[in-house]
């Protein structure tokens, strides 16, 4: 089914019932008038003020009762609808309607409720309402809908809705969050253009030197060989003219279309994940991979996938074809498209405020005073140990109020993460004193909720934060393994970020040289950061002189790195393309067609 109903998980005690300014002034005014009436002996006025005070307390008690008995009985129904009806997954760029229904099974009605939707990071709002207010009862649920679309593949993760309650007089209010984690898959868009149709049959020529045609019997119209008739051969395959000359039955054999194998090596390291969710270089590489996959499937070619990061190859899918193989590869691409970057070189004080704000929005029950609270004076009395302070921290940072506030947030966040990831009794102390472990689990927590952190690309010493010298070695070993287990002449497409690793290309160059010696084709697709002019274009002028100069320096540095990569692989006849170019997929298909021509011996 395309909808999901869950009992709302919320805590009515996560935020105390707050007295609004209207309620405060009403209570203060009636109290002052009551005191004056008692002082001057105005019995009638005193009776009126006492009545108003008792009514005010009764409204407060009734509001408390409604919250405690009704909030735990809320139900949230979320539906994702397209032209095909209720769905569990959508395509990139496809518009979908999200419908929400908040209902209650409690016997007490809530007089005024405001329900606010939390739009996922990958989605872009198109039309509709993200908020609904009104009364909520057992017979009158609150429903609203809106339209969104996703510009990039990944996961559409819904955390839940924020609910704010108030009485009809506006004296009291209460805010809470109804957690309803739900994820929908956003598959890469598949579009076949008319110009990408399979090429037509052309004239026969001799195959190129060093290549072979893989001549196999099949059902095409190209004659492969003549042989003696064998019992069981169909009569329509008999060559009657040759049979008449040789005075015995001769059977014709025809060639078959040999499918070409294409393996795409996709870089999923942190360097291609930098940027807002849905606007990273990895999303562009996923789109290219999905386009090649679909268009190869239309020509009945085999497509494989190899996923790697800074350390190792973590997923390999052998070349295959068919609808099941395509959906399997698309599912894997969807899983990696929404990854966010992580680096151990960041600082705890930069991650803790972002993670703490996420906890305040989504997990407010984890910050209750009864279960997770640290007094404001405790960091001053017992600050963070000096031995656990990072070496680069300022000398007076342990005494600053900002550091104490971050330390208090870190303690509350460590308690939540230690319970979430089951770190044991010593998990809180470990995350509180070990910066490396704290950075790891905080980044994992943010990644699960698709929260992108603005990491600095370069540190104070000018070193690239996401540099991975071992990545070229990992890809080289994967290529050599693919060549060892390869069949016929294949195409290897390297979607890898090498802009900051131009001095570590020796092993990768050797692997590419081996692949070329085995008559394989190799293409390098270099991802390009967003906001930087691609190679061959002129940088645009900025609003300020200094910003224009900085952009020009960064662009020139990337252009020089790209030219160095082109020179390094150009020695072996390997083309290097930029991922931002619109004809990247067409250039890969041209290489596939060249392999088709070589194997069939046509021009």
Structural domain includes residue 183: yes
56 vs 373 pLDDT, higher one? 56
Whether 192 has a pLDDT exceeding 70, the answer reads: no
* Nearest CA among 265, 354, 254 for reference residue 313: 265
Structural domain includes residue 52: no
Structural domain of 389: 348-448
3-state secondary structure 392-447: CCCCCHHHCHHHHHHHHHHHHHHHHHHHHCCCCCCHHHHHHHCHHHHHHHHHHHHH
CA distance 417 to 415: 6
User: Are 307 and 396 in the same domain?
Assistant: no
Whether 169 has a pLDDT exceeding 80, the answer reads: yes
Least confident of 4-8, 143-147, 182-186: 4-8
State the pLDDT at residue 217. Answer: 55
State the pLDDT at residue 531. Answer: 67
User: Are 427 and 288 in the same domain?
Assistant: no
Least confident of 247-256, 281-290, 303-312: 247-256
Structural domain includes residue 160: yes
Confidence band (pLDDT; 50, 70, 90) for 540?
A: low
Report, as an integer, the average pLDDT of 392-397. Answer: 52
Report, as an integer, the average pLDDT of 359-375. Answer: 85
Confidence band (pLDDT; 50, 70, 90) for 388?
A: low
State the pLDDT at residue 78. Answer: 92
Confidence band (pLDDT; 50, 70, 90) for 498?
A: confident
Q: Which pLDDT tens digit goes with each residue over 198-250?
A: 444 444 444 444 444 455 555 555 677 788 988 888 888 888 888 988 889 99
Longest dimension (CA), the chain: 137
User: Residue 514's domain is classified under what CATH number?
Assistant: 3.40.50.410
User: Are 299 and 316 in the same domain?
Assistant: yes
Structural domain includes residue 8: yes
Least confident of 13-17, 75-79, 398-402, 537-541: 13-17
Confidence band (pLDDT; 50, 70, 90) for 538?
A: low
Structural domain includes residue 269: yes
Q: Which pLDDT tens digit goes with each residue over 89-119?
A: 999 989 999 999 999 888 888 999 999 998 9
User: Are 358 and 330 in the same domain?
Assistant: no
Domain endpoint, select from 187, 218, 242: 187
State the pLDDT at residue 56. Answer: 94
Report, as an integer, the average pLDDT of 519-532. Answer: 84
User: Which stretches within 143-231 are classed as H helix?
Assistant: none
User: Are 278 and 168 in the same domain?
Assistant: no
Whether 515 has a pLDDT exceeding 70, the answer reads: yes
Least confident of 123-127, 155-159, 514-518, 599-603: 599-603
State the pLDDT at residue 601. Answer: 43
Q: Which pLDDT tens digit goes with each residue over 556-589?
A: 888 888 888 888 888 888 899 888 877 788 888 8
Characterize 174-183 residue by residue with b for buried, 16 or more Cβ atoms within 10 angstroms of its Cβ, and e for exposed.
bbbbbbbeee
Residue 102 backbone dihedrals phi, psi, to 5 degrees: -105, 115
Report, as an integer, the average pLDDT of 537-551. Answer: 55
Calculate the average pLDDT of the chain: 82
Number of domains in the chain: 3
End-to-end CA distance of the chain: 52
State the pLDDT at residue 13. Answer: 38
Confidence band (pLDDT; 50, 70, 90) for 303?
A: very high
User: Are 87 and 160 in the same domain?
Assistant: yes
Structural domain includes residue 171: yes
Most confident by average pLDDT, 255-259, 277-281, 398-402:
277-281
User: Are 358 and 329 in the same domain?
Assistant: no
Domain endpoint, select from 134, 152, 187: 187
Whether 435 has a pLDDT exceeding 90, the answer reads: no
Confidence band (pLDDT; 50, 70, 90) for 534?
A: confident
Q: Which pLDDT tens digit goes with each residue over 315-331?
A: 999 999 888 999 999 99
Q: Which pLDDT tens digit goes with each residue over 9-25?
A: 444 334 456 888 999 99
Whether 600 has a pLDDT exceeding 60, the answer reads: no
User: Residue 108's domain is classified under what CATH number?
Assistant: 2.60.40.10
Residue 258 backbone dihedrals phi, psi, to 5 degrees: -85, 120
CA distance 134 to 147: 22
State the pLDDT at residue 399. Answer: 61
User: Are 573 and 545 in the same domain?
Assistant: yes
State the pLDDT at residue 596. Answer: 66
Characterize 85-109 residue by residue with b for buried, 16 or more Cβ atoms within 10 angstroms of its Cβ, and e for exposed.
eebebbbbebebbbbbbbbbebebe
Report, as an integer, the average pLDDT of 255-282. Answer: 85
Structural domain includes residue 462: no
State the pLDDT at residue 550. Answer: 60
User: Are 321 and 361 in the same domain?
Assistant: no
User: Are 476 and 397 in the same domain?
Assistant: no
Q: Which pLDDT tens digit goes with each residue over 441-488?
A: 999 999 889 888 887 777 777 777 788 888 889 999 999 999 988 777
Laid out side by side, the sheet with 521-526 consists of: 313-320, 302-308, 261-267, 491-495, 521-526, 576-578
User: Are 534 and 443 in the same domain?
Assistant: no
Domain endpoint, select from 142, 166, 187: 187
* Nearest CA among 233, 215, 235 for reference residue 225: 215
Structural domain includes residue 200: no
Report, as an integer, the average pLDDT of 504-531. Answer: 88
State the pLDDT at residue 205. Answer: 45
State the pLDDT at residue 513. Answer: 93
Q: Which DSSP state fits 195?
A: G
Whether 194 has a pLDDT exceeding 50, the answer reads: no
Report, as an integer, the average pLDDT of 490-504. Answer: 87
User: Are 383 and 524 in the same domain?
Assistant: no
Whether 429 has a pLDDT exceeding 80, the answer reads: yes
């Amino acid at each position: 089914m395309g909808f999901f109903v869950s009992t709302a998980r919320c805590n009515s005690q996560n935020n105390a019932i707050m007295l609004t300014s209207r309620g405060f002034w009403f209570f203060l005014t009636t109290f002052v008038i009551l005191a004056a009436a008692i002082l001057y002996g105005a019995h009638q006025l005193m009776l009126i003020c006492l009545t108003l005070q008792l009514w005010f307390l009764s409204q407060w008690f009734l509001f408390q009762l409604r919250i405690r008995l009704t909030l735990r009985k809320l139900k949230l129904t979320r539906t994702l609808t397209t032209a095909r009806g209720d769905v569990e997954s959508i395509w990139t760029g496809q518009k979908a309607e999200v419908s929400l229904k908040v209902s209650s099974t409690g016997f007490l009605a809530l007089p005024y409720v405001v329900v606010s939707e939390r739009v996922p990071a990958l989605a872009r709002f198109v039309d509709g309402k993200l908020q609904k207010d009104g009364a909520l009862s057992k017979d009158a649920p609150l429903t609203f809908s809106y339209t969104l679309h996703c510009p990039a593949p990944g996961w559409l993760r819904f955390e839940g809705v924020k609910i704010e309650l108030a009485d009809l007089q506006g004296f009291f209010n209460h805010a809470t969050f109804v957690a309803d984690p739900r994820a929908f898959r956003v598959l890469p868009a598949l579009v076949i253009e008319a110009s990408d149709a399979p090429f037509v049959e052309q004239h026969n020529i001799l195959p190129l030197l060093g290549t072979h045609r893989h001549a196999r019997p099949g059902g095409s119209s190209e004659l492969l060989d003549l042989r003696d008739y064998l019992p069981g051969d169909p009569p329509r395959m008999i060559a009657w003219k040759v049979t008449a000359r040789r005075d015995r039955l001769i059977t014709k054999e025809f060639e078959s279309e040999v499918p070409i194998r294409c393996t795409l090596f996709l870089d999923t390291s942190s360097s291609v994940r930098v940027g807002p969710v849905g606007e990273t270089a990895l999303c562009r590489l996923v789109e290219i991979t999905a386009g090649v996959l679909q268009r190869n499937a239309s020509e009945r070619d085999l497509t494989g996938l190899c996923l790697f990061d800074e350390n190792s190859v973590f997923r390999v899918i052998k070349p295959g074809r068919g609808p099941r193989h395509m959906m399997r590869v698309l599912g894997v691409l969807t899983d990696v498209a929404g990854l966010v970057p992580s680096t151990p070189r960041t600082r705890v004080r930069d991650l803790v405020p972002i993670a703490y704000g996420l906890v305040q929005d989504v997990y407010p029950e984890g910050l209750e005073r009864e279960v997770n609270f640290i007094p404001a004076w405790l960091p001053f009395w017992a600050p963070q140990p000096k031995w656990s302070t990072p070496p680069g921290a300022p000398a007076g940072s342990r005494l600053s109020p900002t550091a104490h506030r971050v330390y208090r947030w870190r303690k509350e966040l460590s308690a939540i993460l230690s319970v979430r990831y089951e770190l044991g009794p010593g998990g809180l102390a470990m995350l509180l004193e070990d910066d490396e472990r704290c950075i790891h689990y905080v980044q994992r927590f943010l990644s699960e909720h698709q929260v992108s952190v603005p990491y600095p690309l370069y540190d104070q010493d000018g070193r690239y934060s996401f540099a991975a010298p071992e990545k070229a070695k990992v890809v080289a070993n994967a290529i050599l393994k693919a060549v060892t287990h390869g069949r016929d002449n294949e195409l290897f497409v390297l979607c890898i970020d090498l802009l900051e690793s131009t001095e570590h290309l020796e092993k990768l160059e050797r692997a590419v040289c081996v692949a070329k010696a085995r008559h394989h084709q190799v293409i390098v697709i270099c991802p390009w950061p967003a906001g930087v002019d691609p190679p061959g274009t002129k940088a645009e002028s900025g609003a300020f002189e200094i910003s224009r100069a900085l952009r020009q320096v960064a662009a020139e540095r990337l252009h020089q790195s790209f030219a160095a990569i082109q020179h390094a692989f150009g020695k072996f006849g390997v083309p290097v393309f930029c991922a931002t170019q619109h004809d990247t997929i067409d250039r890969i298909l041209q290489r596939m067609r060249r392999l088709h021509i070589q194997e069939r011996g046509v021009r």
